[in-house]
Structure formats: C-alpha cells, structure tokens
C-alpha cells in the first residue's frame, strides 16, 4: 500500500485509487469508516473486522514509517480473509482546523453504515494530588479525533436520513479482542420489546440518537421505521428495559458542553408509553461524580433493572472503578447515589431481578478473569457483596438471563455460553463457543406443547444462532442452529401478540430483519427472514 500524503477529505477534490487486489463492485456491504488519530490506531480495528467488510481508513495524520508498515500488514491480512479496501487511507489536514468538518466531508465521500473510532473520554491513569484532578496519559489527539468523529457522524446521519451505527473502542483495551469485547458504549442486548398493546418495537442507538422500528397493527402492514426519536445528543450506547407497567424505558448517556468549560456527562432516561407514539421527555438521573466534570466524564455505561415493587435500580461504574447505584421509585422520586465499593470493576455490568423480589447486579472485574455479585433484598436490608462467585466472563458477554434471578455470559476460558444463578456452586454450560457478544432470549415459548427457553446469540461470522432448552432445565443441554442471517448488532428476541417468538437482526445494509416462530407440531421453526 503506497503512502498517501495529505490526502484531502473533501467531496469531489480527490479521485479514489483502488489498492491492488481489491474489489469495489456494487452490491457489497456498506463501508465501515475507521476514524483514528494515526495509522497504528487503525490496526486493532482492521483486525477485528469480519470477513467481507468494506473498510475505509481515515487518519488525522500520517504517522511514521513504523506505523505505516503496521497498517500495511493489517490491511494485507484483512484482504486475505476477504475484506475489501476501496482506496488508500484518507489523511486529514490537522493544521487546517475544523476537524469535524473534514471528517464530515470524508463520510459523505465514503457513505458508511458504520463508523468506528477511539475513546472520546478515556479513563485516568493517575491523580494530580496537588490539584486533585485526574491525569490521563492517553494521547490527546485520540480523544480529539473520537469526539470530532462522533459529531461528524451525527451530522452525516441527519443529512442522509439513514442510520449510522457508531462504535468507540475503549482506551487501553487488550489487543486481539473483538470489537464487541472492548466497546466504550455497548449496544443493548434486549432491544426488541412489546408495548402495552402487544405490538413490538425495536430500539437501537445510532450516531444521531435512538432509532425505532414499530410493528404494524397487522402482519401485512409490516414495520414502520427506522424513525429517529427526539432527544438530547447521546453517546452511541443504550439500555432498554420493559417496566412492570409494560412501558419501554430507554437509558443512555448524554454529553453536553458546559458554559463554565468542559463537558457534562449524565445518565438520562425516557419512557415509551404508547407504541409508535413519541417517547416521553428525556430526564437526567445525574452522575455519581457530578461534582467534578473531569471525573464525571469517565463514568461507565449504565445498567438497570426493576424490583418487585416497581422501583428502578440503576448502576454505573464510577470514577474509582467501583459501582455506584441509584434508585427511582414508581412515582419518580430519586434516592441519592450510593457507592457499593468493593472489587474494582470493568465497564461491564448486568442487573436483573431476583426471584424473591430483590435485585442482583453482577460486574466483570477490572483486574482479573472474575466477577463480583451484589444483592439487595429490599430497601431496608442494604447491599451485600459476594466476590467468590464462579463467574469468569469473557469481555462483552455479560447479560441478564430471561429467567428471573440469573445471568448469562461466555466463559473466559472457552467462550462457551453459560448461565449462573446466585447461590449456585457452578455455572451451567450451554455450548455455543463460536461467535461473540451477549445472549438474549425468552422463557415460556411453546414448542410442541412444552414450555421452553429460546436463546439467540451472535454465532460464527456474526450469523445469528438460535437454541432452546426446557424452562428451568438448562442442564439438559442446548442444540444451536444457525439462522443464516448475519447481524451488525446482537440479535434480539421477544414474544409477539400471538405468543410467537420473534427474532430480529440488522443486516449489512442497515435494514431490520424479522423472523417469527411457526407454531405447530414440527418443533422450533421460524419463517424466512423478512426485510423491513
């Protein structure tokens, strides 16, 4: 790959020179734009791209010869496994200013469905004891490029009117991990949800905010969407919950500029009361480190669940790498932030209700292949910590199980899907070591008259895999079958108004795919995928 010099990121000002051995024929998947500070920063992104990806690299500067050699090697390896590079990397003009505008013009030239960039708010490495401020040793250019890429991707999506999915690679993430294992703002595991009228809605985060697909009143009407929901500027992650009243609750992080300087990062939430109607107003739940914006910007992505009394329990990884919790009553009253302390945790939490009405939270440990479990029976009992749980999760795989009081994860040693109930001496293995990411599912599915748990996960090459076991008996084993449909996001499952399991994915073209269970004597069968 020849080194480009100051290639301008302006529409119409440059011609694309395809790399030898690449193929830019029409009909391929939409490109992914990798926007980074220097060539070496692009290497882990390229290595984690799946087979068949169309990759465009955008760099703030050209870097040195060693960086270019590393980039060339990564491109060569990616081409060998079937990835496509339509042209040489873009190198922006850092001295010209308006970095956001340069990236925006580049995105218009590329036309990406996905944008992958660096961490806009890397966590601190040390503390300035005198000024009592965090010290971040990550190069400033990386955060600058990431923040500009987020702004540019938002403006690009608003201009073209189609979803753009953004992934920010967490600073300091281990090399070799797949993208799903080191994202700063995770995609939701449960993003398909039935409303009070039984119709399904799908919610996903994009560069410009949350987009929604809504099921029609009848199957023949199909789905409406994707529709961009009104709201604040959100970071590209989302938590979706179905509350006890049947409403969908959307939880995310907003990042806004402060008049006094710096940026305010807050947990925000909104509620979908009626299917297909506008969501309610986005309200702030705050930040456990809100007294200092320099600390508050490091907050992890929120996890949440409801208890039996209808209170919302929200958890975030705080500045000190422990967990902070806050509770909202059914009437909207907020408790203060409570620091749980204990084991230092990574940016990966799973919250889920207990069978006895309480609340569980499991967090992946920051410094070991382990996890910590917190439990609260009721408001009077307080939180109890258990560090000796037999949970060793592969990064990016923790999720609340469809059964009350259980968590699913991929075992760090083998990538096998597992389920664990608090109090159990060991998790139960469910097979499925191929693929990456979390597992979604539903319980109580009718399969030949038996109540079963149906699971869905990302499989080999991102193809959705579906499995099932009798309700409450994961020890009987799970037989997994590929669905034939690759997905850009973790596949999701829910029941429709007729009690059928519905599986949804997002294809390489950014369009929603839907498959429904076919009830009858033939076992677990689904319709062909319908493109919405």
Question: How much is the average pLDDT of 3-7?
Answer: 39
Question: What is the predicted pLDDT for the residue at 341?
Answer: 83
What percent of the chain clears pLDDT 70, i.e. is strictly above it?
95
Question: How much is the average pLDDT of 17-38?
Answer: 62
Question: How much is the average pLDDT of 295-323?
Answer: 95
Residue 409 has pLDDT above 80, yes or no: yes
- 3-state percent helix, strand, coil for the chain, nearest multiple of 5: 15, 35, 50
3-17, 424-438, 484-498, 502-516: which range is least confident on average? Answer: 3-17
**Three-state SS at 393:** strand
Cα 383–386–392 angle (5° rounding)?
A: 130
Kindly give the residue spans of alpha helices, DSSP state H, lying in 203-263. none
Question: What is the predicted pLDDT for the residue at 62?
Answer: 84
Stated pTM of the model: 0.93
Rounded-to-integer distance, Cα 454 and Cα 502, Å: 10
- 463 backbone dihedrals φ, ψ, rounded to 5°: -75, 130
10-14, 176-180, 332-336, 422-426: which range is least confident on average? Answer: 10-14
Q: Give the confidence band of 28 by pLDDT, cuts at 50, 70, 90.
A: low
Mean pLDDT of all residues in the chain?
91
Residue 125 Cα to chain centre, angstroms: 25
Task: Find, among 106, 97, 128, 135, the residue nearest to 12 by Cα.
Answer: 106
Question: What is the predicted pLDDT for the residue at 197?
Answer: 95
Scanning the structure block, which residue is given the tokens 């939430």? 269
335: Cα within 13 Å, side-chain hemisphere? 16
Q: Give the confidence band of 200 by pLDDT, cuts at 50, 70, 90.
A: very high
Has domain 32-179 been given CATH number 3.60.70?
no
Rounded-to-integer distance, Cα 289 and Cα 291, Å: 6
Residue 302 has pLDDT above 80, yes or no: yes
Residue 352 has pLDDT above 70, yes or no: yes
State pLDDT tens for residues 42-84: 999 999 998 889 999 999 988 889 999 999 999 999 999 999 9
Residue 1 has pLDDT above 70, yes or no: no
Question: What is the predicted pLDDT for the residue at 311?
Answer: 94
Scanning the structure block, which residue is given the tokens 């030949």? 448
Q: Which long-range contacts (CB under 8 A, 24 or more apart) does 281-285 make?
A: 282/231, 282/232, 282/254, 284/254, 285/251, 285/314, 285/326, 285/328, 285/334
Residue 361 has pLDDT above 60, yes or no: yes
The size of the chain, in residues, is 532
Whether 75 and 85 have beta carbons less than 8 Å apart is answered as yes
Whether 199 and 169 have beta carbons less than 8 Å apart is answered as no
């Amino acid at each position: 790959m020849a080194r480009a010099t100051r290639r301008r990121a302006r529409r119409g000002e440059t011609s694309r020179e395809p790399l030898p051995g690449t193929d830019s024929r029409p009909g391929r998947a939409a490109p992914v734009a990798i926007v980074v500070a220097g060539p070496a920063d692009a290497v882990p992104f390229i290595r984690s791209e799946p087979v068949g990806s169309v990759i465009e690299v955008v760099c703030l500067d050209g870097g040195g010869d060693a960086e270019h050699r590393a980039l060339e090697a990564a491109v060569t390896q990616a081409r060998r496994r079937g990835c496509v590079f339509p042209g040489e990397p873009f190198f922006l003009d850092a001295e010209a200013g308006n970095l956001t505008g340069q990236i925006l013009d580049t995105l218009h030239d590329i036309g990406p469905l996905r944008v992958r960039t660096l961490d806009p708010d890397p966590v601190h490495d040390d503390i300035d004891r005198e000024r009592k401020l965090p010290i971040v040793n990550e190069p400033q250019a990386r955060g600058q490029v990431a923040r500009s890429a987020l702004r540019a991707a938002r403006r690009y999506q608003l201009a073209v009117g189609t979803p753009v999915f953004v992934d920010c690679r967490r600073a300091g993430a281990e090399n070799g991990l797949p993208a799903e294992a080191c994202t700063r703002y995770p995609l939701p595991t449960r993003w398909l949800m039935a409303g009070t009228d039984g119709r399904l809605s799908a919610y996903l985060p994009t560069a410009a905010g949350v987009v929604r697909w809504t099921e029609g009143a009848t199957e023949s009407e199909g789905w409406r969407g994707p529709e961009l929901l009104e709201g604040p500027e959100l970071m590209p992650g989302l938590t979706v919950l179905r509350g006890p009243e049947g409403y969908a609750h959307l939880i995310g992080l907003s990042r806004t500029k402060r008049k006094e300087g710096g940026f305010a990062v807050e947990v925000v939430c909104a509620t979908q009361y009626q299917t297909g109607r506008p969501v309610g107003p986005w309200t702030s739940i705050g930040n456990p480190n809100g007294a200092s914006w320099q600390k508050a910007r490091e907050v992890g992505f929120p996890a949440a669940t409801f208890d039996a009394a209808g209170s919302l329990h929200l958890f975030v990884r705080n500045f000190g790498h422990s967990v902070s919790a806050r509770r909202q009553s059914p009437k909207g009253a907020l408790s203060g932030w409570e620091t749980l302390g204990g084991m230092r945790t990574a940016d990966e939490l799973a919250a889920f209700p207990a069978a006895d009405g309480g609340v569980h939270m499991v967090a992946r440990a920051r410094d070991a292949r382990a996890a910590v479990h917190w439990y609260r029976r009721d408001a009077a009992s307080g939180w109890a910590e258990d560090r000796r749980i037999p949970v060793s999760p592969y990064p990016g795989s923790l999720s609340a199980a469809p059964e009350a009081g259980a968590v699913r994860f991929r075992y760090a040693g083998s990538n096998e899907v597992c389920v664990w109930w608090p109090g159990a001496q060991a998790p139960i293995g469910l097979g499925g070591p191929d693929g990456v990411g979390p597992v979604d599912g539903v319980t109580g599915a009718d399969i030949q008259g038996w109540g079963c748990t149906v699971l869905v996960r990302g499989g080999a090459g991102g193809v959705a895999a579906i499995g099932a076991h009798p309700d409450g008996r994961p020890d009987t084993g799970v037989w997994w079958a590929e669905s034939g449909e690759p997905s850009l996001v973790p596949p999701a499952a829910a029941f429709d108004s007729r009690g059928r399991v519905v599986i949804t994915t997002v294809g390489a073209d950014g369009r929603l795919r839907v498959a429904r269970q076919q009830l009858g004597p033939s076992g677990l069968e689904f319709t062909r995928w319908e493109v919405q």
